[in-house]
Amino acid sequence: GNSVTQMEGPVTLSEEAFLTINCTYTATGYPSLFWYVQYPGEGLQLLLKATKADDKGSNKGFEATYRKETTSFHLEKGSVQVSDSAVYFCALSDLTNAGKSTFGDGTTLTVKP
Amino acid sequence: DADVTQTPRNRITKTGKRIMLECSQTKGHDRMYWYRQDPGLGLRLIYYSFDVKDINKGEISDGYSVSRQAQAKFSLSLESAIPNQTALYFCATDSGDTGELFFGEGSRLTVL
Protein backbone atom coordinates (compact mmCIF):
# COMPACT_ATOMS: atom_id res chain seq x y z
CA GLY A 1 0.00 0.00 0.00
CA ASN A 2 0.87 3.66 -0.15
CA SER A 3 2.76 5.38 2.65
CA VAL A 4 4.37 8.72 3.43
CA THR A 5 7.23 9.17 5.87
CA GLN A 6 8.05 12.62 7.18
CA MET A 7 10.97 13.92 9.14
CA GLU A 8 10.12 13.75 12.80
CA GLY A 9 9.61 16.93 14.70
CA PRO A 10 9.21 19.21 16.35
CA VAL A 11 11.55 21.58 14.55
CA THR A 12 12.58 24.87 16.14
CA LEU A 13 14.43 27.51 14.12
CA SER A 14 15.42 31.11 14.48
CA GLU A 15 13.94 33.67 12.11
CA GLU A 16 15.74 33.80 8.74
CA ALA A 17 17.13 30.29 9.12
CA PHE A 18 16.99 27.73 6.29
CA LEU A 19 14.27 25.10 6.53
CA THR A 20 14.21 21.56 5.22
CA ILE A 21 11.51 19.05 6.10
CA ASN A 22 12.17 15.64 4.58
CA CYS A 23 9.43 13.55 3.00
CA THR A 24 9.69 10.19 1.27
CA TYR A 25 6.90 8.09 -0.12
CA THR A 26 5.96 4.62 -1.28
CA ALA A 27 3.27 4.28 -3.93
CA THR A 28 2.11 1.62 -6.33
CA GLY A 29 1.26 4.04 -9.13
CA TYR A 30 2.33 7.51 -10.20
CA PRO A 31 1.11 9.77 -7.43
CA SER A 32 0.65 13.48 -7.18
CA LEU A 33 2.50 14.93 -4.20
CA PHE A 34 1.39 17.68 -1.86
CA TRP A 35 2.46 19.75 1.10
CA TYR A 36 -0.35 21.00 3.31
CA VAL A 37 0.05 23.50 6.14
CA GLN A 38 -2.04 23.78 9.30
CA TYR A 39 -1.79 27.08 11.16
CA PRO A 40 -2.81 27.10 14.83
CA GLY A 41 -6.55 26.67 15.26
CA GLU A 42 -7.19 26.17 11.55
CA GLY A 43 -7.78 23.38 9.09
CA LEU A 44 -5.24 22.16 6.59
CA GLN A 45 -4.66 24.13 3.43
CA LEU A 46 -2.65 23.37 0.35
CA LEU A 47 0.83 24.89 0.39
CA LEU A 48 2.17 23.46 -2.86
CA LYS A 49 1.92 20.44 -5.13
CA ALA A 50 3.63 18.56 -7.96
CA THR A 51 1.94 16.13 -10.28
CA LYS A 52 4.82 14.42 -12.10
CA ALA A 53 8.49 13.62 -11.78
CA ASP A 54 10.90 16.62 -11.75
CA ASP A 55 8.05 19.09 -11.24
CA LYS A 56 8.79 21.80 -8.69
CA GLY A 57 5.96 23.17 -6.59
CA SER A 58 6.40 26.58 -5.01
CA ASN A 59 4.37 29.02 -2.93
CA LYS A 60 5.07 31.69 -0.28
CA GLY A 61 8.83 31.10 -0.61
CA PHE A 62 8.50 27.36 -0.03
CA GLU A 63 9.65 24.87 -2.66
CA ALA A 64 9.60 21.12 -3.16
CA THR A 65 10.75 19.01 -6.11
CA TYR A 66 9.19 15.68 -7.09
CA ARG A 67 12.13 13.25 -7.19
CA LYS A 68 11.02 9.91 -8.59
CA GLU A 69 14.47 8.33 -8.36
CA THR A 70 14.66 8.91 -4.61
CA THR A 71 10.86 8.86 -4.03
CA SER A 72 11.16 12.14 -2.17
CA PHE A 73 9.42 15.51 -1.96
CA HIS A 74 11.40 17.55 0.56
CA LEU A 75 10.06 20.95 1.61
CA GLU A 76 12.52 23.87 1.70
CA LYS A 77 12.47 27.57 2.48
CA GLY A 78 15.48 29.81 2.39
CA SER A 79 14.52 32.18 5.19
CA VAL A 80 11.72 31.33 7.60
CA GLN A 81 9.58 33.85 9.43
CA VAL A 82 7.72 33.67 12.72
CA SER A 83 4.49 33.50 10.72
CA ASP A 84 5.63 30.18 9.20
CA SER A 85 5.13 28.46 12.55
CA ALA A 86 2.64 25.69 11.80
CA VAL A 87 2.27 21.96 11.27
CA TYR A 88 3.34 20.74 7.82
CA PHE A 89 1.95 17.57 6.25
CA CYS A 90 3.34 15.74 3.25
CA ALA A 91 0.73 13.77 1.29
CA LEU A 92 0.21 11.82 -1.89
CA SER A 93 -2.81 11.11 -4.04
CA ASP A 94 -2.73 8.04 -6.24
CA LEU A 95 -5.25 7.01 -8.87
CA THR A 96 -4.57 3.33 -8.11
CA ASN A 97 -6.07 4.07 -4.68
CA ALA A 98 -9.14 5.78 -6.18
CA GLY A 99 -7.41 9.11 -5.78
CA LYS A 100 -7.58 8.98 -2.00
CA SER A 101 -4.86 10.80 -0.11
CA THR A 102 -2.24 9.32 2.20
CA PHE A 103 -0.68 11.64 4.78
CA GLY A 104 2.54 11.73 6.72
CA ASP A 105 2.40 12.25 10.47
CA GLY A 106 3.05 15.98 10.26
CA THR A 107 6.02 18.09 11.37
CA THR A 108 5.54 20.95 13.81
CA LEU A 109 7.68 23.99 13.01
CA THR A 110 8.25 26.76 15.52
CA VAL A 111 10.13 29.85 14.39
CA LYS A 112 11.51 32.11 17.12
CA PRO A 113 12.27 35.82 16.66
CA ASP B 1 -17.74 32.29 3.93
CA ALA B 2 -15.70 29.11 4.12
CA ASP B 3 -16.07 26.60 1.29
CA VAL B 4 -16.21 23.71 3.77
CA THR B 5 -18.07 24.35 7.02
CA GLN B 6 -18.08 22.11 10.05
CA THR B 7 -20.38 22.27 13.06
CA PRO B 8 -19.89 22.28 15.96
CA ARG B 9 -16.34 23.62 16.18
CA ASN B 10 -15.97 22.44 19.76
CA ARG B 11 -17.94 19.89 21.74
CA ILE B 12 -17.52 18.34 25.16
CA THR B 13 -19.62 15.30 25.91
CA LYS B 14 -19.79 12.32 28.21
CA THR B 15 -19.07 8.67 27.64
CA GLY B 16 -22.03 6.87 26.08
CA LYS B 17 -23.62 9.93 24.49
CA ARG B 18 -24.52 10.10 20.80
CA ILE B 19 -22.73 12.85 18.90
CA MET B 20 -23.16 14.13 15.36
CA LEU B 21 -20.63 16.28 13.53
CA GLU B 22 -21.91 17.99 10.44
CA CYS B 23 -20.16 19.12 7.29
CA SER B 24 -21.41 21.17 4.37
CA GLN B 25 -19.55 22.35 1.29
CA THR B 26 -20.08 24.88 -1.46
CA LYS B 27 -17.31 23.57 -3.73
CA GLY B 28 -19.72 21.47 -5.79
CA HIS B 29 -17.54 18.40 -5.27
CA ASP B 30 -18.97 14.90 -5.28
CA ARG B 31 -16.24 13.46 -3.06
CA MET B 32 -16.27 14.03 0.69
CA TYR B 33 -14.18 12.65 3.56
CA TRP B 34 -14.00 12.51 7.33
CA TYR B 35 -10.55 12.41 8.95
CA ARG B 36 -9.40 12.22 12.51
CA GLN B 37 -6.26 14.00 13.73
CA ASP B 38 -4.38 12.90 16.83
CA PRO B 39 -1.03 14.37 17.92
CA GLY B 40 1.85 12.56 16.22
CA LEU B 41 -0.44 10.36 14.17
CA GLY B 42 -1.21 12.59 11.24
CA LEU B 43 -4.62 12.29 9.61
CA ARG B 44 -6.46 9.01 9.53
CA LEU B 45 -9.40 8.38 7.22
CA ILE B 46 -12.65 7.39 8.94
CA TYR B 47 -15.18 7.30 6.08
CA TYR B 48 -15.46 8.64 2.57
CA SER B 49 -18.16 9.12 -0.03
CA PHE B 50 -17.65 9.58 -3.77
CA ASP B 51 -21.28 10.48 -4.46
CA VAL B 52 -24.61 10.65 -2.65
CA LYS B 53 -25.27 6.91 -2.89
CA ASP B 54 -21.70 5.84 -2.14
CA ILE B 55 -20.35 5.30 1.39
CA ASN B 56 -17.03 3.60 2.15
CA LYS B 57 -15.14 2.72 5.30
CA GLY B 58 -11.72 4.16 5.83
CA GLU B 59 -8.91 2.82 7.98
CA ILE B 60 -10.52 3.56 11.36
CA SER B 61 -14.31 3.29 10.91
CA ASP B 62 -15.11 1.24 14.02
CA GLY B 63 -17.32 3.21 16.41
CA TYR B 64 -18.35 5.71 13.73
CA SER B 65 -21.11 5.98 11.12
CA VAL B 66 -21.85 8.51 8.40
CA SER B 67 -24.74 9.86 6.39
CA ARG B 68 -24.55 11.60 3.01
CA GLN B 69 -27.73 13.63 2.98
CA ALA B 70 -26.98 15.52 -0.22
CA GLN B 71 -24.06 16.30 -2.48
CA ALA B 72 -23.17 19.16 -0.17
CA LYS B 73 -23.69 17.46 3.21
CA PHE B 74 -21.83 14.66 4.96
CA SER B 75 -22.35 13.93 8.66
CA LEU B 76 -20.28 11.84 11.04
CA SER B 77 -21.92 10.16 14.05
CA LEU B 78 -20.53 8.57 17.16
CA GLU B 79 -23.34 6.34 18.39
CA SER B 80 -21.88 5.87 21.87
CA ALA B 81 -18.88 8.10 22.45
CA ILE B 82 -15.85 6.84 24.37
CA PRO B 83 -12.85 8.79 25.73
CA ASN B 84 -10.40 7.52 23.10
CA GLN B 85 -12.54 9.22 20.46
CA THR B 86 -11.34 12.52 21.86
CA ALA B 87 -9.67 14.12 18.84
CA LEU B 88 -9.80 16.82 16.20
CA TYR B 89 -12.08 15.84 13.30
CA PHE B 90 -11.82 17.24 9.81
CA CYS B 91 -14.18 17.12 6.87
CA ALA B 92 -12.65 17.49 3.41
CA THR B 93 -13.72 17.47 -0.23
CA ASP B 94 -12.04 17.02 -3.56
CA SER B 95 -13.03 17.09 -7.20
CA GLY B 96 -11.44 13.77 -8.05
CA ASP B 97 -9.35 15.44 -10.76
CA THR B 98 -6.26 16.88 -9.09
CA GLY B 99 -6.07 15.10 -5.74
CA GLU B 100 -6.10 18.41 -3.86
CA LEU B 101 -8.21 18.28 -0.71
CA PHE B 102 -10.18 21.21 0.69
CA PHE B 103 -10.59 21.08 4.45
CA GLY B 104 -13.01 22.48 6.96
CA GLU B 105 -11.67 24.21 10.06
CA GLY B 106 -12.13 21.15 12.23
CA SER B 107 -14.36 20.00 15.07
CA ARG B 108 -12.65 19.45 18.39
CA LEU B 109 -14.42 16.69 20.34
CA THR B 110 -13.71 15.87 23.96
CA VAL B 111 -15.29 12.79 25.50
CA LEU B 112 -15.17 12.70 29.29
B42 and A43 within 8 Å at the Cβ level: the answer is no
> Nearest C-alpha of chain B: how many angstroms from A21?
15
Q: How confident is the model at residue B42 (pLDDT cuts 50, 70, 90)?
A: confident
In this predicted model, which residue has the larger pLDDT, B40 or A48? Answer: A48
Res. B2: pLDDT tops 80:
no
pLDDT at B76: 98
Query: Hey, is the C-beta of B48 within 8 angstroms of any chain A C-beta?
Result: yes
Supply the pLDDT for residue A39.
94
Which value, in Å, is the radius of gyration of the alpha carbons in chain B? 13
pLDDT at B9 over 70: yes
Average pLDDT for B74-84: 96
CA dist A74 → A6, A64, A100, B46, B81 (Å): 9, 5, 21, 27, 39
Q: How close is the nearest chain B Cα to the Cα of A44, in Å?
A: 6
Predicted pLDDT at A28: 82
CB contact under 8 A, A89 and B42: yes
Extract the residue ranges of chain A whose pLDDT is less than 70: none
Q: Is A97 helix (H, G, I), strand (E, B) or coil?
A: helix
Q: Is the pLDDT of residue B1 over 70?
A: no
- Residues in A 22-61 with any Cβ partner in B closer than 8 A: 31-32, 34, 36, 41-46, 49, 51
Question: Residue B67 has what pLDDT?
Answer: 97
Taking CA–CA distances from A40, the nearest residue in chain B reads B105
CA distance B38 to A106: 10
Count of alpha carbons within 13 Å of B49, Cβ hemisphere only? Answer: 24
Q: In whole angstroms, what is the distance from residue B24 CA to residue B107 CA?
A: 13
Map residue B55 onto helix, strand or coil.
Answer: strand
Q: Please state the rounded mean pLDDT for residues B53-76.
A: 96
Q: Do A103 and B100 touch (CB under 8 A)?
A: no
**Interface touch B4/A104, C-beta < 8 Å:** no
Probe site for chain B from A90, A100, A102 (most B CB atoms < 10 A): A100
Given a cut of 90, whether residue B10 has pLDDT beyond it is yes
B62 and B56 Cβ atoms separated by less than 8 Å: no
